Amino acid sequence: MYRIVKKRSLNPTVTEMHIEAPLVANKALPGQFIILRVDEDGERIPLTVAGCDKAAGTVKIIFQVVGATTEKLNHKNEGESIKDFVGPLGTPTHLDGLRKVCVVGGGVGCAIALPIAEKLHEMGCEVTAIVGFRNKDLVILQEEFAACSDRLFTVTDDGSFGEQGNVCLPLDRMLEAGETFDEVIAIGPLVMMKFVALATKPYGIKTVVSMNPIMIDGTGMCGGCRLTVGGQTKFACVDGPDFDGHLVDFDEAMSRSRAYAAFERHAHDDTCRLFQKEVE
């Protein structure tokens, strides 16, 4: 069992937890993920490592409540435990040799982008961060990004916080002005990563995206997390989750990501009703 050491709400739908898992904390690097089960009968879900405290032996995860399992996880409190916490899995983000990077995060994807930005800052890299949200109520991790970025641009769809627009707005502005980067790293919704990759492609700037498709075992055996990258089949759990954004077939990935949407909504609603009955 893995104890929840700390829990806090980042916005109405996003929660941060620190899980006591010293073996994972000692090995995990930015870009890797874990797979957890909340209880004995729970499903396995992947969550990207949002940070580690090796001294305390804890791993930080940040998740959005969207399905039955994240709903169950969100009902756990400090001092309680979850059944399984396996990792680190996947290939760490390659950061060696980078001197000037633009890190782009969208929504809860900012939780994955932050440890990468922090590591780059620690390495002495010049970090430009662009983070985007639907509105001010969903903004997260502003202070943390400000602390590790040489420049920070925040955009919201409705303009209620920062600049109105999407993440491509400040990115396009910089690229059109002749600014270059060793690499752009984009993490967030598939459609966001697709358009970031389209924005950088004409300039020949390497663009890395973090893919989080349907995943079951996390070891490359089930094939559930398959993607088409450069015309070849890849598996996000072992070949990724990072891939060349200019080679990813985003349209296929978006189509596959919607395959179980109705089932997920139904399972989430059933779980919510169960918790309501327990309260009553």
- Residue where a domain terminates, one of 89, 117, 152: 89
Assigned domain for 269 exists = no
Q: Categorize the per-residue pLDDT at 261 as very low, low, confident or very high, splitting at 50, 70 and 90.
A: low
Assigned domain for 105 exists = yes
Residue 239 and residue 157 in one domain: yes
Residue 108 and residue 246 in one domain: yes
CATH classification of the domain holding 8: 2.40.30.10
Residue 252 and residue 205 in one domain: yes
Q: Note the pLDDT of residue 269.
A: 57
- Residue where a domain terminates, one of 47, 64, 89: 89
Q: Is the pLDDT of residue 67 over 60?
A: yes
d(CA 193, CA 247): 12
Q: Note the pLDDT of residue 42.
A: 87
Q: Note the pLDDT of residue 187.
A: 95
Residue 116 and residue 207 in one domain: yes
State the maximum Cα–Cα separation within the chain, in Å, rounded to a whole number.
61
Q: Note the pLDDT of residue 66.
A: 85
Residue 129 and residue 83 in one domain: no
Q: Note the pLDDT of residue 219.
A: 74
Q: Are 139 and 72 in contact (CB under 8 A)?
A: no
Q: Note the pLDDT of residue 238.
A: 87
pLDDT in tens, 149-193: 999 999 999 999 999 999 999 999 999 999 999 999 999 999 999
Question: Taking residues 231-236, what's their average pLDDT?
Answer: 91
Assigned domain for 268 exists = no
d(CA 134, CA 162): 11
Q: Is the pLDDT of residue 21 over 90?
A: yes
Residue 231 and residue 126 in one domain: yes
Assigned domain for 262 exists = no
- Dump strand ranges (E) for the chain: 2-11, 14-20, 33-37, 45-53, 58-64, 81-82, 84-89, 100-106, 126-133, 151-156, 163-164, 183-187, 207-210, 226-229, 232-235, 242-244
What are the CA-CA distances from residue 127 to residues 92, 98, 154, 175 (Å)? 19, 10, 14, 15
Assigned domain for 276 exists = no
- The terminus-to-terminus CA distance of the chain in angstroms comes to 28
Question: Taking residues 241-267, what's their average pLDDT?
Answer: 78
Residue 118 and residue 182 in one domain: yes
Q: Are 208 and 116 in contact (CB under 8 A)?
A: no
CATH classification of the domain holding 166: 3.40.50.80
Q: Note the pLDDT of residue 240.
A: 84
Residue 9 and residue 141 in one domain: no
Assigned domain for 273 exists = no
Residue 112 and residue 222 in one domain: yes
Assigned domain for 265 exists = no
Task: Provide the residue range defining the domain that includes 37.
Answer: 2-89
Mean pLDDT across the chain = 89
Q: Which of 99, 88, 174, 87 is nearest to 130 (CA)?
A: 174
Residue 82 and residue 198 in one domain: no
Residue 114 and residue 175 in one domain: yes
Q: Categorize the per-residue pLDDT at 257 as very low, low, confident or very high, splitting at 50, 70 and 90.
A: confident
Residue 193 and residue 249 in one domain: yes
What letters, b where the CB count within 10 A reaches 16 and e where it falls short, cover 224-239? ebbbbbeeeebbbbeb
- pLDDT higher for 270 or 69? 69
Q: Is the pLDDT of residue 265 over 70?
A: no
- Residue where a domain terminates, one of 42, 66, 89: 89
Assigned domain for 149 exists = yes
Angle 88-196-153 (CA atoms, 0-180°, nearest 5)? 85
Number of domains in the chain: 2
